[in-house]
Amino acid sequence: MSTGTTSAPCKGLTTKEFGLFRELIYREAGISLSPAKHQLVESRLVKRLRVLGLNSFTEYYEYATGGDPSGQEHLQLINSLTTNKTDFFREQHHFEFLQKKLFPAIEQRANETGDRRLRIWSAACSTGEEPYTLAMTVLDYFGPMSVNGWDIRILASDVDTEVLSRASAGRYEADRLNDVPADVRKKYFVRTSKASDSDYQVRPELQELITFRRINFIDATWPIQTCFDVIFCRNVMIYFDEMTQDRLLTRFSEVLVPEGHLFIGHSESILRLDNLYRSLGDTVYRLRPGIGAAARKGNTGAKPVTTTTDSTASSGRDNSVTRSTLTTSRVTSVSTVTTKDSNSIPPGQHAKWQEEIDLPVQSLIVGELRASAEPARLTTLVGSCITVCLYDPVAKIGGMNHFMLPNNANEGRESATYGIHAMELLINQMMKLGANRRRLEAKVFGGANVLGRPVPSGSMLNIGERNAHFALKFLETENIPVVAQSIGGTRGRQVHFLTHTGQAFVRETKNTRMALDHENSQTAQLAVPKGTAELFIDPIPS
Distance CA 489, CA 50 (A): 52
Listed in sequence order, the residues at least 6 apart from 200 whose beta carbon sits closer than 8 Å to its beta carbon are: 171, 172, 173, 174, 176, 177, 185, 189, 190, 191, 192
Q: Is residue 158 part of a domain?
A: yes
Q: Is residue 256 part of a domain?
A: yes
Domain extent, residue 76, equals 15-81
According to the model, what pLDDT value does residue 347 have? 40
Amino acid in the structure at residue 422:
A
Q: Is residue 255 part of a domain?
A: yes
Per-residue pLDDT tens digits for 212-250: 998 988 888 888 878 999 999 988 887 777 888 888 999
Distance CA 264, CA 287 (A): 13
Average pLDDT over residues 38-59: 86
Are residues 293 and 371 located together in one domain of the fold? no
Catalytic annotation present for 358 = no
Q: Is residue 345 part of a domain?
A: no
DSSP code at position 525: P
Domain boundary among 310, 326, 342: 326
Catalytic residue among 115, 151, 158, 229: 158
Are 380 and 402 in contact by the 8 Å Cβ rule? The answer is yes
Higher pLDDT, 530 or 295: 295
DSSP code at position 139: H
Distance CA 163, CA 206 (A): 18
- What is the C-alpha R_g of the chain? 26
Distance CA 191, CA 205 (A): 16
Per-residue pLDDT tens digits for 421-479: 899 889 988 988 888 888 899 999 999 887 656 656 555 567 888 899 999 999 988 88
Confidence at 274, pLDDT banded by 50, 70, 90 = confident
According to the model, what pLDDT value does residue 309 have? 46
Q: Which helix (H) or strand (E) holds 116?
A: none
Distance CA 187, CA 183 (A): 6
According to the model, what pLDDT value does residue 237 have? 82
Per-residue pLDDT tens digits for 335-358: 333 333 233 334 444 444 444 555
Are residues 530 and 435 located together in one domain of the fold? yes
Amino acid in the structure at residue 495:
V
**Global pTM exceeds 0.75:** no
Are residues 76 and 100 located together in one domain of the fold? no
pLDDT over 60 at 522, yes or no: no
According to the model, what pLDDT value does residue 147 have? 56
Catalytic annotation present for 158 = yes
Are residues 414 and 518 located together in one domain of the fold? yes
Q: Is residue 49 part of a domain?
A: yes
Lowest mean pLDDT among 74-83, 172-181, 368-377, 518-527: 518-527
Instruction: Produce one character per residue of 137-153: b if its CB has 16 or more CB atoms within 10 Å, e if not.
Output: bbbebbeebeeebbbbb
According to the model, what pLDDT value does residue 346 have? 40
Q: Is residue 1 part of a domain?
A: no
Average pLDDT over residues 35-43: 83
DSSP code at position 349: -
According to the model, what pLDDT value does residue 79 have? 73
Q: What are phi and psi of 37, to 5 degrees?
A: -90, 5
Confidence at 414, pLDDT banded by 50, 70, 90 = low
Distance CA 256, CA 321 (A): 8
Number of helices (H) and strands (E) in the chain: give both, helices first: 17, 22
Domain boundary among 81, 114, 134: 81
DSSP code at position 279: E
Lowest mean pLDDT among 112-121, 190-199, 266-275, 500-509: 266-275
Are residues 484 and 504 located together in one domain of the fold? yes
Distance CA 262, CA 121 (A): 10
Count of domains in the chain?
Answer: 3
Q: Is residue 395 part of a domain?
A: yes
Average pLDDT over residues 253-277: 87
Are residues 315 and 406 located together in one domain of the fold? no
- Residue 46's domain is classified under what CATH number? 1.10.155.10
Are residues 126 and 164 located together in one domain of the fold? yes
